[in-house]
Amino acid sequence: MNAPTSFELPKAGLVVGERYLTTGSGGVHQHHYAADGRVQAEVPIAGASEVDAAVAAAKAAFPGWRATRPAVRRDLLFKLAELVEQHGEELAWIGARENGSPISGVRMIPGKFAAWTKYSAGFADKLEGRVVSTFQDDSVLDYTIPEPFGVVALILTWNGPLMGLGMKLGAALAAGNTIVMKPSELTPFTAWRLVQLAEQAGFPPGVLNLVTGGAEAGEALVRHPDVQKISFTGGVSTGQRIATTIAQSLKPALYELGGKSANLIFADADMEVAVRHSARQPLFLAGQGCILPTRILVEEDVADEFVERLIAEIRSIRIGDPMDAATELGPVIDARSQARLLGLIEAARARGDGKVALGGGKPAGVNPDGYYVEPTVFTGVDPQSDLAQNECFGPVLSVMTFKTADEAVEIANGTEFGLGAYIHSTNLPRTLQLAHRLEAGSVQINGAPTARENAPFGGRGLSGHGREGGHDGMMEFVRVKNVAIGDGALWRR
Ligand code: NAD
């Protein structure tokens, strides 16, 4: 892996129509670099007035964008995807600086953004309604039209800023909506750079708008009467808060929330694959991923051997500075998250939720001012404990055992979440039966990848609802109108 070239962190700010604003009425957020704790930028925060202006710009741009030929929308999105690929090294660098993810991991993200955006772009000129069956009454022609909503708010979290945008932006725009994006105040830089690239691609002003800020800006955005649909990625309590805020207006929203995904390891699994996947996947982004397999359920007969190999594999993962190309595990996002995780580990240990078999504190050999947390493995975890039931959103794994497939399903389905589930077994009929029984939005068998652009991604239960990706993800950004043409026969005397 090549060492990363150094780039400048762009000035983050707001984009309202054709205006780029580097100040906001909501004040300033001091942005810290997660690997050393130092302030690396000041980020302007939008107030309600800038949110109003961004929504107004998106509303003004909507009629023109909706009337733009779908093939033109498609080509603009393709151009944006190509520009992101061309600036891939720079965007990966910005991504690593803004949330502390290792450059070795985020180098593939610009390519993922491009893949998602091109996939959605392809729908722009293929979104079609259907002719509704009128077999009982041949005097009626009945058909459907997929229509854009208008102004759509895209509210994002910080763990994968460019990936999160890729999962929403192309689909929203291909369908003919205009957008106001609100990245997390912790990761405002990628979105800012992306809007510049969109301008370079030739998107008209007002089609993509950007507001920075936290809860206040997000609240003003979702509450805004001219925002017709919300696509939200974030925590459960914020999702619940948004649902309450928009309850009166009944406006539709997609919620991509947290998870506590179970990873079932059967004795007949390919152990090399199962061990590597179970050790490395949950530590991607320092464990700060919604669908990571953080609850490991292993068949009792092979549990000792599996745990031994799991711990050896995790020990081999290189912790360090995100900009070092050899680093595989970086810091968590901020000081608050680091303190929260260390507290959560200590509380789980004190309660006896499980036994700490690895880690549990701050790692040695890294910058002590960085927000690092050791990869931590709890074994013998009680499935009903706080540790097993709640999302940690950090490098913390819980291992439990099961005797039968029925017991594994019961434990796996025994939380309020339902985002992902994973199975490792060479018994194909069994994996397929289990896939039906697991309460999750997606089931990955034998290390299959997640979050592919052509497959639906999303949860059930407290993991939210709605889908991103695939045809289902595209349909989230249209509303279907039904038109029926009669011949007046019903009303003739
Ligand atoms: P968060 O809910 O605190 O923030 C998410 C976004 O919502 C941010 O942009 C934030 O500023 C905004 N926000 C906060 N309060 C708001 C309000 N009242 N109204 C409108 N917007 C508001 O979440 P976080 O800490 O940034 O992210 C971590 C969570 O996100 C985890 O639970 C994780 O599982 C989840 N997540 C889910 C997915 C998914 O696709 N399912 C992907 C990544 C992360």
What sign results for the dihedral spanned by CA atoms 157, 163, 165, 167? negative
Angle at CA of residue 141, ends 135 and 142, nearest 5°: 85
Probe target for ligand 1 pocket from 187, 211, 238, 340, with the most ligand atoms within 8 Å of CB:
238
pTM, rounded to two decimals = 0.96
CA 118 to chain CA centroid, nearest Å: 18
The pairing of strands 131-132 and 141-148 is: antiparallel
* First-last CA distance in the chain: 81
Establish whether 290 is a catalytic residue: yes
Q: Say how far apart CA 309 and CA 319 lie, in whole Å.
A: 19
Q: Say how far apart CA 387 and CA 21 lie, in whole Å.
A: 43
Compute CA distances 410 → 264, 390, 414, whole Å.
11, 17, 6
Atom of ligand 1 at shortest range from CA of 457 = 40
Residue 222 Cα to ligand 1 midpoint, Å, equals: 13
pLDDT, position 11: 84
Q: Say how far apart CA 423 and CA 262 lie, in whole Å.
A: 8
Q: Report which protein residue has its CA nearest ligand 1's atom 30.
A: 234
Residue type at position 275: V
Q: Say how far apart CA 348 and CA 378 lie, in whole Å.
A: 9
Contacts for 366 with CB less than 8 Å, ≥ 6 apart: 35, 319, 320, 321, 331, 372
pLDDT, position 4: 59
Residues 368, 362 contacting (CB under 8 angstroms)? yes
CA atoms within 13 A on the CB side of 373: 30
> Is the CB–ligand 1 distance for residue 453 below 6 Å?
no
Residue tagged active-site, from 256, 374, 391, 453: 256
pLDDT tens-digit series, residues 183-225: 999 999 999 999 999 999 999 999 999 999 999 999 999 999 9
pLDDT tens-digit series, residues 64-120: 999 999 999 999 999 999 999 999 999 999 999 999 999 999 999 999 999 999 999
Q: Say how far apart CA 457 and CA 217 lie, in whole Å.
A: 27
pLDDT, position 328: 97
Compute CA distances 13 → 141, 204, 458, whole Å.
50, 19, 30
Residues 47, 40 contacting (CB under 8 angstroms)? no
Residue numbers of the chain with a pLDDT score lower than 50 = none
pLDDT, position 3: 55
Residue linked to tokens 């965007």: 91
Long-range CB contacts (within 8 A, 24+) of 106-109:
107/1, 109/160, 109/162, 109/163
User: What are the tokens at 333?
Assistant: 């996002």
pLDDT, position 136: 74
Establish whether 392 is a catalytic residue: no
> Is the CB–ligand 1 distance for residue 156 below 6 Å?
yes
Residue 464 Cα to ligand 1 midpoint, Å, equals: 12
